[in-house]
Amino acid sequence: MCYQGAVSEEESKPSVRMVTIGPEHAGQRIDNFLRTELKGAPKSLIYRVLRTGEVRVNKGRAKPETRLAAGDVVRIPPVRLSEAMPVRVGEALKGSLEEAVLFEDEALLVIDKPAGLAVHAGSGVNVGVIEALRAARPEQKGLELGHRLDRETSGVLVLAKTRPALMELHELLRGDSVKKSYRALVRGAWPDRLREVDAPLAKNNLRGGERVVEVQGDGKEARTLFRVLERFHGATLVEAMPVTGRTHQIRVHAAHAGHPLAGDDKYGDPEFDRALKACGLGRLFLHAARIQIPRRGQKDLRVEAALPAELEQVLSALRARQAGGA
């Protein structure tokens, strides 16, 4: 991360920090940024220091929804984390995540994230992947998420173990050299000719404050490549390869194309999902199957995560139904 030293008269107070935002945090909400900077601080404490004006961006008061820009200077106040209840992480969760490790070296940790587990705490979630791994590996002080996966998405998740590794990974992710591949089951017959969805995306606060992403002309550029893998009666298994990395990108692009993902309770088709329950579908059918990361002076890192058993079961049921002419 591109942090610089303190630049104000408050430098003499060691508990107050002035942080200059690097490009890897451009566009991030200040409340999410503070969750990373104030490890262990509960959500209530973060919103309290924001509400009281103790957090400032370029000397001005910041609201939770304030978006950061590269070059912004953020004042982070002294926070006594002893005020908070400690995060409790069960041994079973720690163990399951250690068993989910797909690759590890001195710089990166790659795991097969299970569906239903958030990558970080927040919005009613007390413990996510990052909190659990930090609890399991207290000696690894620099452990950070390299990117995000939706809570209900399973598969390859990359974490950085050092600050330099995180900076390099973010730089690669801002370009187009990191290749990601997902498996998704969508409604209907996806056309072979539809190989790319290029539609800008914007975040909106709708449905009682729940964040919803929509295709919008003035949104951020978003591109996803698609390839048909297997066809069933009323559904298609596709490979989705995001070129950009917007929130909910694959889910929204598939729905925009008229083929929403199976099990998607936000952008999907409830009738389609009900029909698939008979095949054992009980979650979002989206799985991060593979990532390829270039590495300086080394062969590209390529890591794959097999489709989870519960999703393989759905495909087996669809194949059996199709073979039987159902």
- How confident is the prediction for the chain on average, in pLDDT? 87
**pLDDT of the residue at 78:** 83
Task: Give mean pLDDT, residues 263-289.
Answer: 96
- CATH assignment of the domain containing 145: 3.30.2350.10
Same domain, 166 and 289: no
Band of pLDDT at residue 2, cut at 50, 70 and 90: very low
Please give the backbone phi and psi of residue 264, each rounded to the nearest 5 degrees, phi first: -90, 105
Q: Any idea which residue has 């709708």 for tokens?
A: 206
Domain count across the chain: 3
Q: Which amino acid is at 281?
A: L
Q: How does pLDDT run across 141-191, given as a tens digit for each residue?
A: 889 999 999 999 999 999 999 888 988 998 898 888 999 999 999 999 999
- In angstroms, the first-to-last Cα distance of the chain is 55
**pLDDT of the residue at 44:** 78
- Beta-bridge mates of residue 17: 76
53 within some domain: yes
- Beta-bridge mates of residue 258: none
For helices 129-136 and 91-99, angle between their N-to-C axes, nearest 10 degrees: 100
14 has pLDDT over 90: no
- To the query of whether residue 150 is one of the catalytic residues in this protein, the response is yes
Quote the pTM value.
0.77
For helices 43-51 and 30-37, angle between their N-to-C axes, nearest 10 degrees: 120
- Residue that finishes a domain, picked among 43, 76, 109: 76
Q: Three-state SS string across 51-97, please?
A: HCCCCEECCEECCCCCECCCCCEEEECCCCHHHCCCCCCCHHHHHHH
* Residue % of the chain over a pLDDT of 70: 90
Same domain, 212 and 246: yes
Q: How does pLDDT run across 41-92, given as a tens digit for each residue?
A: 777 788 888 999 999 999 999 998 899 998 999 999 887 654 445 567 788 8
Same domain, 54 and 155: no
Catalytic residue, from 31, 72, 150, 264: name it. Answer: 150
Domain that holds residue 295: 177-323
10 has pLDDT over 50: no
